[in-house]
Chains A and B, each alone.
Chain A
Amino acid sequence: MLVVKNLSVKTLDGNMIVNPVSFELVAGEALTIVGETGSGKTLLAQAIANNLPEGLIAEGEIYLHDQAIHTLSADDRNALWGKTICVLPQEPTRSLDPTMHAIKQVKEGYQIVKGLNSSDATAQASHDFECVKLPHATHKYPFELSGGMAQRVAFLASRSGGATFTVADEPTKGLDANRRDDIAKQLRSLIEKNEGVFTITHDIDVAHQLGGRVMIMRKGDVIEVGESQQVLSHPAHPYTQELIDADPRRWPKREAKSNKDPSIVNAKNLSKSRGGKALFSDVSLSLHPGQIIGVSGDSGCGKSTLGDMLLGLLPSDSGTIEWAHKNNEKHKAQKLFQDPTDVFSAHVPLRTSFNDLMKKYHIGQDKLTGLLAELRLDESLIDRNPDQVSGGELQRLAIVRVMLLDPTFIFADEPTSRLDMLTQKAVIEALVNVVKHSDVAIMIVSHDKALLSSVCDELITL
Chain B
Amino acid sequence: MKRQTVNTLLNILAWRSIQAVFVALFVGIVCFFAAQGLGGNMAYRIAGGRYGIDLMDSSTAESVARELGLDRSLWVRLVEWLGDSLTFNFGNSLVSGSPVIEEVGHTLGHSLTLAGASIVLSVFIAVPLGVLAAKHPNSWFDKTLLFCSVSLKSVPNFVIGILLVMLFAVQMKLLPAAGHGDFSYLILPTLTLALGLAAVSVQVVRDSTLGVRNSTYFLFSRIKGLSDAQTFQRHGWRNLLVPVVAFLGIQFITIVEGVVVIETLFAWPGIGHSLVHAIFARDIPIVQGAAVAMGLIFVAMNALVDIAVLLLDPREGGKS
Contacts and interface: CB of A to CB of B under 8 A. Distances in A.
Contact of A51 (B216, B217, B223, B312): B223
A81 to B, nearest CB: 5
A143 B318 contact: yes
A106 to B, nearest CB: 9
Contacts of A78: 222
A10 to B, nearest CB: 23
Which among A95, A96, A144, A160 has the greatest number of chain B C-beta atoms within 10 A? A95
A73 interface: no
Nearest to A75: B227
Contacts of A157: 220, 224
Nearest to B215: A94
Contacts of B224: 81-82, 108-109, 113, 157-158, 160-161
Q: In the complex, which range does the number of interface residues on chain A fall in?
A: 20 to 34
B225 A113 contact: yes
A78 B221 CA distance: 12
Interface string A68-81: 00000000001001
Given A95-B216, A95-B217, A97-B217, A141 B222 contact: no
A87 interface: yes
Contacts of B235: 97, 100
Contacts of A94: 215-217
B216 A113 contact: no
A161 B226 CA distance: 9
Q: In the complex, which range does the number of interface residues on chain B fall in?
A: 20 to 34
B223 A81 contact: yes
Contacts of A161: 224-225
A161 B222 CA distance: 11
B223 A87 contact: yes
A82 B313 contact: no
Interface in A108-124: 108-109, 112-113
Contacts of B223: 49, 51, 81-82, 87, 89, 158
B220 A99 contact: no
B239 interface: yes
A83 B222 CA distance: 12
A95 B218 CA distance: 7
Contacts of B239: 97-99
B225 A143 contact: no
Contacts of B313: 98-99
Interface of A: 49, 51, 78, 81-83, 87, 89, 91, 94-100, 105, 108-109, 112-113, 141, 143-144, 154, 157-158, 160-161
Given A83-B225, A105-B221, A112-B225, 19 more contacts: A51-B219, A81-B224, A82-B224, A89-B220, A95-B219, A95-B220, A97-B234, A97-B235, A97-B238, A99-B242, A100-B235, A108-B221, A109-B224, A112-B230, A141-B314, A144-B318, A158-B223, A161-B224, A161-B225
Interface of B: 215-217, 219-226, 230, 234-235, 238-239, 242, 312-315, 318
Give 4 closest A-B pairs by Cβ, nearest first: A82-B225, A113-B225, A95-B220, A161-B225
